[in-house]
Structure 1
Amino acid sequence: MEKLYIIIPAYNEEDNIENTIREWYPIIKKYNGNGLSRLVVVNDGSTDHTWKILCQLEKQFPLLTALKKKNGGHGSTVLYGYRHAIDKNADYIFQTDADGQTDPAEFDAFWELRSEYDAIIGKRSVRGDGFSRKIIENMVCLLLRLIFGVKIPDANAPFRLMKASLIKKYIKKLPRDYNLPNIMMTTYFSYYHENIAFREISFKPRQGGVNSINLRKIIKIGWKALGDFRRLKQEM
């Protein structure tokens, strides 16, 4: 009878959003024993037809909730979704992205582990989004090990099932608009020895549209992240 909230941030995903919802909706329908579970898509100020499509689909799928916020980036949108789920008294929160890179068929294996762990996080040994993204992820994990002393195989995988109580415990440590919340959540879980597990997942190439993150943005985000990591470590 657990209340599950699936959180999906979306920015300019008109090419993917309908297919993403149609793929993930059977999951929320399957695990909706209490009638209160929801598939929540948070529109991050899209400038294309993402919001219009969401509003149309909301009429077709009763367990779909479409939320709208001012553009603030992927991280702030994820946090917005987490806070919404906590406010709605969710028991479990699952987060994935709207670009079609994750596989809903792999959710069941995570759900079956929910009584054994407080968080189950995806691990992408093979990435369909290119070798450069794998290098960036490896660099992030190296920084986390150097700064926080934690050994993490994949800090930012958008395929994670977590107890809402665990997110509530740590979300207050982050600025409201923090741009890398999943990385820091994973870091907090590891640093404070929470009961978590990493499980292998597949990770496909983006299924449509254009990735809004380019090399220049990655460098800018990385430089800011370095300063943020050091500041957050001091606050531990």
Structure 2
Amino acid sequence: MDSLYVVMPAYNEEDNIEQVVTDWYQVLDGKSEYSRIVIADFGSNDNTHKILEDLKNSKYPKLEILKNDNQFHGPKVLALYRYAIENGADYIFQTDSDGQTNPMEFDDFWNLREQYAGLFGNRTVRGDGNDRAFVEKVVCLCLKLYFGVNIPDANAPFRLMKASVLDKYMDRFSDNYNLPNIMITTFFSFYKEKIAFKEITFKPRQGGKNSLNIPKIVKIGWNALGDFSEFKRGMR
């Protein structure tokens, strides 16, 4: 049976985290006994970590908690990917811990896992606002101009990947890189891994406060243009 690691970054998600873990823990049913949910929550200054520890000790033995990851979202995601690969995952599924994605849509991805190296969510309707949808469109346009790839949604936190394929690209990232999911989607597309994009629902944040606002996103995006140029030089 294939082992699945469901990985999630978390930051100050005390309002969401128990329901999110409860909902996503169910997707481990029918998978290898070595399957896990792994959450990176370093830097949270609310009760996120305590809630996770209580859930692990009382209900969910396959829940694991990374404590020594970076505070920021991108480095957390990289730490989670590396942890899953190092611990022998066959497949890695990444989502976020804010309750915006729907675990009922997971099986549509899982049932196609043998046909694709990567299956990526496509948020055709976004519950988090038109401003973020616009930012995503700009990102996808930049990726087309820089790398010649046609990607409908580069950064969706709903992605199932073969760990062996993802591992090929992990050494391209520094530990503190901010936008790994965007570049992972780009690498899979640029190097013509077999991938597909499937429409998913994307709800408004279910609680808590997003740590990124539009000015911060714009600043990260501006810095990303230099990163894109650096990655492009290495892809020629």
Query: Normalising TM by the smaller chain, what interval?
Result: over 0.9
Q: How many angstroms does 1:72 deviate by? A: 3.1
Measured in 2, the distance between the counterparts of 1:72 and 1:220 equals 18
**Match for 1:207: what amino acid?**
Q
Q: Which residue in 2 is equivalent to 1:39?
A: 37
Mind listing any 5+ residue stretches in structure 2 that lack a counterpart?
none
4+ residue runs of structure 1 moved beyond 3 angstroms? Answer: none
Q: How is 1:199-218 mapped onto 2 (pairs within 5 angstroms)? A: 199-218=198-217
Write the deviation string for residues 124-165 of structure 1: whole angstroms up to 9, x where unpaired: 110000001100000000000001111100000000000000
CA contact (8 A) 1:23 1:104 kept: yes
Measured in 1, the distance between the counterparts of 2:70 and 2:233 equals 29
Write the deviation string for residues 52-107 of structure 1: whole angstroms up to 9, x where unpaired: 11110111211111111254310000000000000101000000000000000000
Measured in 1, the distance between the counterparts of 2:156 and 2:69 equals 24
Q: Which residue in 1 is equivalent to 2:94?
A: 95
Q: Which residue in 2 is equivalent to 1:18?
A: 18
CA contact (8 A) 2:128 2:204 kept: yes
CA contact (8 A) 1:123 1:198 kept: yes
Answer with 168-177 or 182-191: which moved more: 168-177
Q: Which residue in 2 is equivalent to 1:186?
A: 185
Write the deviation string for residues 171-217 of structure 1: whole angstroms up to 9, x where unpaired: 11111211100000000000011101100000000000000001221
Q: TM-score, normalized by length of structure 2?
A: 0.97
**Match for 1:41: what amino acid?**
I
| RMSD over equivalenced CA pairs, Å | 0.9
CA contact (8 A) 1:31 1:37 kept: no
Q: Which residue in 1 is equivalent to 2:50?
A: 52
- How many residues align? The count is 234
**Match for 1:55: what amino acid?**
E
Measured in 1, the distance between the counterparts of 2:69 and 2:159 equals 25
CA contact (8 A) 2:155 2:182 kept: yes
Aligned sequence identity (%): 57
SS at match of 2:115: coil
